[in-house]
Structure 1
Amino acid sequence: MREKIEYWLVKLFLGLAKIAPVSFVYIFFKMLAWLLYYLDSKRRKLTIANLSSAFPQMSKKEIEQLSKQVYVGLSKTVAEILLMFVDRFDIDNAVVNREETIEKLESLAKHSSKGIIAMTAHFSNWELLAHFLAKHGFPMLVIGREGNNKLIEDNITTPFRRKYGNDSAFKSKAMLSMVKRLKKGGNVGILIDQKVGKQNSVMVDFFGQKAGTTTSIAFLKQKLDPLVVPFFIARIDDGKYRIIIEEPIESEEALTSESVLETMTEQYNQVMESVIRKYPAQWFWMHNRWRR
């Protein structure tokens, strides 16, 4: 029963996004974010604790203001994802460095005979990033966690993510799927900023604390030598974004030692952290990344 209620609630939000003025959609989800901020004290306190730990130089007041910006930013992401779903959000017009990004994608394609791993995070509008890349010749096998609601996963989430040619694989079958895709010279997208179990992970530094991080990228880099390219999308205004494509990350370490997996994974975390520090309000801070 709960699964059906959640499904129809999402359908209701999609219906709202389809007929309501776009400005109203933004305002509605901003109000909803404010409501959740004050009602869900557990999540709010976790967000503030994470920010306080990551930015000890900030005052209590600054941290509180930043935590509110995190919630408002997420409300914009949710609003735009729904607008994207009902074709009321122009993803090409939203990217201010569109032509530059397309040129970089074309350049990467010329040097990707062993495939590309697009490393990213739950940062800003990560769904817009995946859509834009696929639409412009960079479709990916995107690795993610299977949703708790199968109705939503099968009828809404999966079709939406496949709209421009992306495929998806759940974590339980991810490694085999990634190996197959990379061996064909294809692209794989991995978000590495979520907490993981002890299996296939290492504890490495992230914002000054040890965080369990998947070794999938480092392992694949060792075995298949694909390009590991950090991709991010930063919000610069309502409905406007800049795509960030960093240089491929290489490691000069030997390919057999387990410590290399740790070194490489920490290197990936450092790149991700450097981007988040530039846009601190755009990362998903309400996640229990450090298992508090």
Structure 2
Amino acid sequence: MYITLRILYSLLSRLPFNTLEFIGRTTGSAMYYILQDRRKVAYKNCEIIGIPEKDRKRIVKSSFKHTFCSYIESFYTKNIDSAFLEKMVSVEHRGEKPENLACFMVSAHFGGWEVGSYVMTEKLGLKGAVVGRKLKDPKVDEFIREQRKNSIVSVIYHRNATESIKRYMDKGESIGVFLDHSATSRDCFAVPFFGINTTFIKGVPLLAVRRNYPILPAFILREQKGFKLITYPLMYPDKALKPKERAHDLALRINKVYEEIIREHPEQWYLIHKRFKKTTDAEGRFKATNFYK
């Protein structure tokens, strides 16, 4: 696996960006037919988030293309420079333009998420780290970790990441996180998402409340040519609420932003992921769902 990965990076990282996107779209089209279980997951997620039945096939097929484009774009991240950003990335601020700000950059597996840390930090003038998952193979993990970092963005592991995140906060730097994945019950509280009480990773909202650290929702929308960085209004803990309620309120507001951007562009969300694996019962306890059976 490690040797294969190094060979792929050696070959694919030399290709033009447009060629990589063509490979991603073509691979995604094939994987729609090959990955039958993931296709079923994507159709179920379409149903859950309210996509009309007549549109689901088109959305799911497109989602496979976007997903595999994101995978393939990871081979290009080391090549991103100021010329690429100027030519290929536009910016839309749906709130006040964030400047010289230390924050949690909250994003999702949406659009061009693999290039997200590079695009967001450079376009917004931020410095800090992004939280990622540790891979099982140490050599593969170290190699991927090296490919994902650049001069102003480091990578920290999501497991036991709190102390590392605090160190970046102490330095007044930003931390990028994806909060649209399911997670273990012990790491989450229940928050409505598309009308379903499901898991929401609680670490970031809790730290934001304790440190009064702002949250900046931001997404990388893939366009016909290049990307658009979309930022939403900054979120601060609501001090009118009781301390224990503030973190849950932040999570609820984050999910509402996720719902908005996903409703606008459902085909660019990571539909093949089992996002709704757990919901709450009548007593508020997490239980496994049968959505994806």
The normalised TM-score by structure 1 is 0.84
Distance in 1 between residues matched to 2:68 and 2:85, nearest whole Å: 18
Post-superposition shift, 1:176?
A: 1.1
Distance in 2 between residues matched to 1:222 and 1:46, nearest whole Å: 34
Distance in 1 between residues matched to 2:20 and 2:170, nearest whole Å: 43
- Select 1:44's aligned residue among 30, 36, 39: 39
Corresponding residue for residue 150 of structure 1: 138
* CA spacing shift, 1:182–1:86, aligned 2, 3 Å: closer
Corresponding residue for residue 94 of structure 1: 88
Q: Deviations over 1:28-87 (max 9, x none)?
A: 33332222221221111011111111125x02x410111000011122223332133356
> What SS does structure 2 have at the residue aligned with 1:16?
helix
Q: Deviations over 1:201-231 (max 9, x none)?
A: 1111112212200112221122100111111
Kindly indicate whether residue 108 of structure 2 is the aligned counterpart of residue 121 of structure 1. Answer: yes
> What SS does structure 2 have at the residue aligned with 1:97?
strand
Distance in 1 between residues matched to 2:17 and 2:36, nearest whole Å: 30
Structure 1 segments (4+ residues) deviating >6 Å: none
Corresponding residue for residue 252 of structure 1: 238
Corresponding residue for residue 69 of structure 2: 76
- Given residue 169 of structure 1, which amino acid in structure 2 is its aligned partner? I
8 Å Cα contact 1:131/1:164 also seen in 2: no
Kindly indicate whether residue 236 of structure 2 is the aligned counterpart of residue 242 of structure 1. Answer: no
Moved more, 26-35 or 267-276: 26-35
The normalised TM-score by structure 2 is 0.84
Q: Deviations over 1:127-183 (max 9, x none)?
A: 32211233353122211211223222212x212222132112112231111122112
Kindly indicate whether residue 219 of structure 2 is the aligned counterpart of residue 232 of structure 1. Answer: yes
User: Unaligned 5+ residue runs, structure 1?
Assistant: 1-5
Corresponding residue for residue 3 of structure 1: none
Post-superposition shift, 1:119?
A: 0.9
Bigger helix fraction: 1
Distance in 2 between residues matched to 1:138 and 1:55, nearest whole Å: 36
- Given residue 48 of structure 2, which amino acid in structure 1 is its aligned partner? S
C-alpha RMSD of the superposition: 2.5
8 Å Cα contact 1:84/1:90 also seen in 2: no
User: Unaligned 5+ residue runs, structure 2?
Assistant: 278-290
Kindly indicate whether residue 4 of structure 2 is the aligned counterpart of residue 9 of structure 1. Answer: yes
- Select 1:287's aligned residue among 253, 273, 278: 273
Q: Deviations over 1:73-122 (max 9, x none)?
A: 12222333213335699244210239x89x934x2x1xx4xx31111111
Post-superposition shift, 1:257?
A: 4.4
* CA spacing shift, 1:221–1:13, aligned 2, 3 Å: same
Percent identity over paired residues? 19
Kindly indicate whether residue 21 of structure 2 is the aligned counterpart of residue 26 of structure 1. Answer: yes
Corresponding residue for residue 49 of structure 2: 54
Corresponding residue for residue 249 of structure 2: 263
> What SS does structure 2 have at the residue aligned with 1:205?
strand
